[in-house]
Amino acid sequence: MAGAHNGSKAAAEGLIAKFQVGKLLKQDQQGRRITVLGTIDGEQGILIAERAAFATESLEVLQAFHAAITRVKNLGDNDIYRWYLASSNGKSQTSEETQQDLKVNLIWPCTAQHIKKYSDQQVRMVTETPDIYKQHVRPFMQAKREEGRLNWVFNILEGRTEQEDVIMRDPGHGPEDSFLMLPDLNWDRKTLSSLHLLALIDRRDIWSLRDLKKSHIPWLRYLRQRVLEATVSIYPGLEQDQLKLYVHYQPTYYHFHIHVVNVMLEAGATQSTGKAFGLENLISQLETMSGDENTSMADVDLTYYLGEASELWTDIFAPLKQGAQPSKTQ
């Protein structure tokens, strides 16, 4: 048997064409790798296929990649954010023969802050004490909100944009309970193993997990249960214990929202320690904290990571590390 598998290079390459697809065993890396069971000459084999990394060695290569993008289909847009499906093979056919294998996001016009956020950079772990939060980070959050950074969120909540993408609105027991759900812009909206939804609350008084208090525990439990129920109702191929709910700190924008993902989704940077805080763990932490109903997550140390290009690092934590006062909060 071993000799049959030690043929020439050409023979080895020919095995791929002879592979008879049986069934999908697994899809991972957010849909970029598949594992398929099949046969070659009547014997079972496993084919593992992974999309190659993007070629980035020169400006010309990047330009050629852009020129090859075809069959662009807009999935939605809001304010400066737009997202699409497209084909990367440069063919202009409109039939299903040309697969839309690209998920493309466009931010336009973008700001200097966007460029910093999406640039490759070193990261630092920081510990935000209650004092640092109150003196420096909270004013930073307020300044960002006042710059209009939440316009796109309010557009959705107030029914001006993306209403075709809203998959559920829950009025709750009143304005403080209501929320809506929609697909995250990074999900292709069809691969359940990489499912990623957002639950946006209507109330405006909770900017981040720092605003959560012991008095919010019943609301958080209600929110968690309704989000789980809604998700499995909309996607019956999933069960509640196949879902993971978390919030970010620091979040990308300062309006409380919950990420809902398939537990099989491989944990990248946005789900890692120092970025993602499990909703159930936050509820448990609030329950076990001593104090009255006003005791909050603003009263604890939080350790998380920041990119060195982040304003939080350059304007607050880097100066504090050097023993100086943050320049914008003196």
Task: Write the pLDDT tens digit of every residue in 1-15.
Answer: 444 444 577 888 788
What residues contact 79, with CB distance under 8 A and at least 6 apart?
151, 152, 155, 161
Task: Write the pLDDT tens digit of every residue in 42-53.
Answer: 988 888 887 777
Summary mean pLDDT of the chain: 87
Task: Kindly list the catalytic residues.
Answer: 257
**What is each CA distance from 197 to 181, 188, 329, in whole angstroms?**
7, 11, 35
Nearest to 211 by CA among 286, 313, 290: 286
Partners of residue 246 on adjacent β-strands: 259, 278
Q: pLDDT value at position 186?
A: 78
Q: How far apart are CA 312 and CA 261, in angstroms?
A: 27
Task: Give 129-197 as a DSSP string.
Answer: -HHHIIIIIHHHHHHHHHTTTTHHHHHHHTTSS-TTT--EEE-TTSTTT-EEEEE-TTS-SS-GGG-EE
Tell which wins on pLDDT, 159 or 327.
Answer: 159
- Token pair of 302, please? 């939080």
Task: Write the pLDDT tens digit of every residue in 167-203.
Answer: 999 998 888 899 999 999 878 788 898 899 999 999 9
Q: How far apart are CA 294 and CA 205, in angstroms?
A: 14
Tell which wins on pLDDT, 93 or 224.
Answer: 224
Structural domains in the chain plus CATH codes: 59-107 (no CATH), 112-321 (3.30.428.10)
Residue carrying structure tokens 């710059």 = 147
